[in-house]
Every structure is written in C-alpha cells, then in structure tokens.
Amino acid sequence: MNDDARIANARDRLAELRQGFAARLRERVDALETAVAKVDDRQAAAIAEVEQLAHKLAGTAGSYGFHEIGEIAAELEALCGEGFDATQAAELTERMRAALD
C-alpha cells in the first residue's frame, strides 16, 4: 500500500470514528444533563459525576471536531471546581444541546 492509499485509509477510518462519536454525542449530553439535575445542595458525589462526564466530553468532543461542545464541556468542568451553581450548569448543558442542532 502506498502513502496515498494509507492516507486515504486513515481519513476514511477517522470519518467512521467521527460518525460513531457523533451518533453517541446526544446520549452523552443527555447523561450530563441528568447528572446536573441530580445535584442537590452541592452534594460532592453528584458534582464529581458531573465533573467526570464533562471532563471526558471536553477531551473527546474537540478531538472529533465538535469544538463548541468541547469548550462548553470544559466550562462545565471548571464550574464544578469553582463552586457549583446549578442554574449556570443547566445553562451550559442547554448550550450544548443547542450546539447539537
């Protein structure tokens, strides 16, 4: 296989991976919204779950070309470490949802 064929093969594979990620992206945002809704009175365990989900999404979304969602997820992750605000967290997940459409 020559270099051009390898590059084409790699691009095709990356496109497949991106499609698979995109197909699961709405589910990941759903899970993040659910986790945000479960936070009650700044419960540490619930905030940690939001932070973990946001961290994973921030890293992977950008890698697959979903930069806006990755940036919003990074904002949500930072919010978890700065003093969680449920209203602001809900606004961030709404922005993510809007970015999907």
Residue 80 main-chain phi, psi, to 5 deg? -65, -35
Q: What is the pLDDT of residues 19-61, one digit of tens each?
A: 898 889 999 999 999 999 888 766 888 999 999 999 999 999 9
Burial class (CB in 10 A: 0-12, 13-18, 19+), 41: exposed
Give dist(CA 72, CA 30) in Å, integer: 14
In a domain, 6, yes or no: no
> Does 58 map to a domain?
yes
Domain annotation covers residue 1:
no
Asked if residue 98 lies in contact with residue 71, where contact means CB atoms within 8 angstroms, the answer is: no
Whether residue 4 is contained in a domain is answered as no
Chain-centroid distance, C-alpha 85: 19
Domain that holds residue 62: 25-100
Residue 90 lies in a domain: yes
Mean pLDDT of the chain: 90
pLDDT in tens, 49-92: 999 999 999 999 988 889 999 999 999 999 998 888 989 999 99
43 belongs to a structural domain: yes
The structural domain count of the chain equals 1
Three-state DSSP class for residue 65: coil
